[in-house]
Structure 1
């Protein structure tokens, strides 16, 4: 069935509001932004916001879900043809860098977000952990007693990246953390991995 011009306009407005919310959340923070801020930035009335999102929580969940899927998909696209751990982690950094201001807000504000939005962080991490684990499987054959488990290594990588993102004001106050520190973090993290994982 062909959509009416009214339906198409409604869909267009909702897409505009999702994109506008993404931009405002990236700049001001998710929990610091009101529905009226997004309405103003999107050039619509405050009432129009409630036509598309019944509550602020619903807006947050939909924006986070939409862009978390984009981040996860982009990370997967970049990593799926990579064979080495180094290439996969570099792909992960590239995926984050494309969405860094928003991703940084997700990292910082995740504990404060609605449950559905918090769950999206797991989806984003899963996109890279799958590739990381696959690349590390060869380590299982040569693992020695005392080697750090793959799950802990992955969590160390995520923790390292998130620490730098959360402390953006210290590490890259005038720019982006991943652009400035990504390669340094990657090269130093690789030193922690068993040589078998890098061969």
Structure 2
């Protein structure tokens, strides 16, 4: 990679990191001018790399979900059961809880393209959870409930605690074990 191409890629990465930080701190409706300030680049640089603000947001979400997905896939490749998978997921959320909280609270407000990234990740989680729930069912029978209910119950509990974290002790940090165990009690016969 020549020097110019390397600088271009470094600027692109600065913009992506600044956008993620800005979304975390100010929400997904933050102006691209503010993202440029955080990235310490000109406003035009944003559009030299991303033709629209929506495409910038989509790439930030894609990168975030790809990283989470890879870590969760690695967990499964390592032979994880449902309990350790859910623990790993909470550990990943904890690393960037503020950003995940924005996704949870503002996901319905973003563009269709961004929503597709969120839904795609949740669909991948559902596939992982389905296979792990089937494995658990062999060892400890699971209630015969629709998979969508089992997955959405987990998502709902996590999102509720994250959205209302002011009412609780730091949930993801301090309550991982309790949340996972309560969920397993809820789904097992």
CA distance in 1, matches of 2:80, 2:4: 48
Partner in structure 1 of residue 36 of structure 2: 39
What does the per-residue CA deviation read over 1:155-193, in whole Å, with 9 as the maximum and x for residues that have no partner?
Answer: 211111111112223235xxx531133222112111112
Deviation at 1:51, TM superposition (A): 1.3
Aligned to 2:160: 163
Query: Hey, what's the Cα distance between the residues in 2 that align with 1:142 and 1:184?
Result: 19
On the 8 A contact 1:80/1:131 being kept in 2, the answer is no
1:183 paired to 2:177: yes
Larger radius of gyration: 1
Tell whether the 8 Å contact from 1:93 to 1:178 is kept in structure 2 after alignment. Answer: yes
Unaligned runs of 5+ in 1: none
Q: Is the 8 A contact 1:68 1:123 kept in 2?
A: no
Evaluate the alpha carbon distance shift between residue 122 and residue 76 of structure 1 in structure 2; reply closer, same or farther with a 3 A threshold: farther
Displacement over 4 Å in runs of 4+:
140-144
Between the aligned partners of 1:76 and 1:15, the Cα distance in structure 2 is 24
Q: How many residues align?
A: 188
Within 5 A, what are the aligned runs for 1:67-146?
Answer: 67-138=64-135, 139=137
- Residue 68 and residue 191 in structure 1: after superposition, are their counterparts in 2 closer, same or farther (change >3 A)? same
Deviations 1:122-151 (A, max 9, x none): 23223433332112224279969x732333
- Aligned pairs (5 A) from 1:143-158: 147-158=144-155
Alignment partner of 2:187: what SS?
coil
Q: Is the 8 A contact 1:75 1:92 kept in 2?
A: yes
Query: Structure 2: which 5+ residue stretches go unaligned?
Result: none
